[in-house]
Amino acid sequence: MAMQEATYRDALRMALSDAMSFDDSVIVMGEEVGRYGGAYGVTKDLIAEFGPERVIDTPISEAAIVGTAVGAAMTGLRPVAELMYVDFIGMTMDQLANQAAKIRYMFGGQIGVPMVLRTQGGTGRSAGAQHSQSLEAFVMHTPGLRLAMPATVDDAYHLLRQAMTQPDPVVFIEHKSLYTMKAPLNPNAEPVGWGQANVLREGDDLVMVTYSRQVHYALAAAQTLQTDHDISAAVVDLRTLNPLDFETIRPLVENAGKAMVISEAVLTCGVAAELAARITEECFDFLEDPVVRVAGEDIPISVSPLLENNSVPTPELIIETAKKMFV
């Protein structure tokens, strides 16, 4: 397939279709993934293409979905299980954290769990406190689980294709506000390597380290900082949080001497805290100032669009925070 315009949602669907065509062991399972086409339309028409034996509508039980996927993966299939919201991941923590993440270790490396758990998180749809969380720290905290969070249409396709070839369980978190984003996509292009961060903007004054939707906010903020304030900011899209590509971050921070970590998840004990600590530990001698965290408020997300929007980092907040680093 040649270069084409695609939405983030389309790219995910293409990745699933291409992987299922290439590998008969790949199956899709979850609530409403078949006849309905998925809660966000990602699996639309897959059941017509591959049939109900490979695109499986499940009961409304997150524990059953993930538990079945774990068993299927252990017996030779490559299941892609879907959770409608990452907020429901707590209902799967025994299956995911106690089983999928640990089976390779419990069996001395004789067997793995090559499954992907697709889900979505983040704010932007006024879905309320129980459907708007960013819980990637739950996953990042659990050894044995891989974690991918694509920010772009290109990564929606290529990261998902790569996730479906991994020998161990991958949690793949899509941002609910990105599904309709459009960009050129070339499925045949050589992708950025699995576990490798992508430097989307070069800069010598400040390094912004982020992932998922905040990548776009950081890029917008970096442009304004350059144009209006003569501050040159690099933007790093982590793409995967486990594996974490610190080798890309280190030389950029050593060069700039200032670093900011941006995350939509809550500030306390979140991904931003871990990244800030890691940068501080490994780049301490090069830092001119402490690493700054820009993250979500430590509150449940409001259903009010105004309150929701301002409970997580915005380009304006990133700009104002960056300006203070140069006072």
Instruction: Give the chain's radius of gyration (CA, Å).
Output: 20
| Cα–Cα separations (whole angstroms), residue 59 to 36, 63, 83, 216, 263 | 14, 10, 12, 36, 33
Taking the C-alpha atoms of residue 113 and residue 100, their distance in angstroms, rounded to an integer, is 6
DSSP assignment letter at 155: H
Contact 28, 38 (CB under 8 A): no
Catalytic residue selected from 131, 158, 175, 216 = 131
Residue type, 214: Q
Distance from C-alpha of 275 to C-alpha of 324, rounded to nearest angstrom: 20
Three-class secondary structure assignment of 271-320: HHHHHHHHHHHHHHHHCCCCCEEEEECCCCCCCCHHHHHCCCCCHHHHHH
Q: Is 141 part of the annotated catalytic residue set?
A: no
Catalytic residues: 131
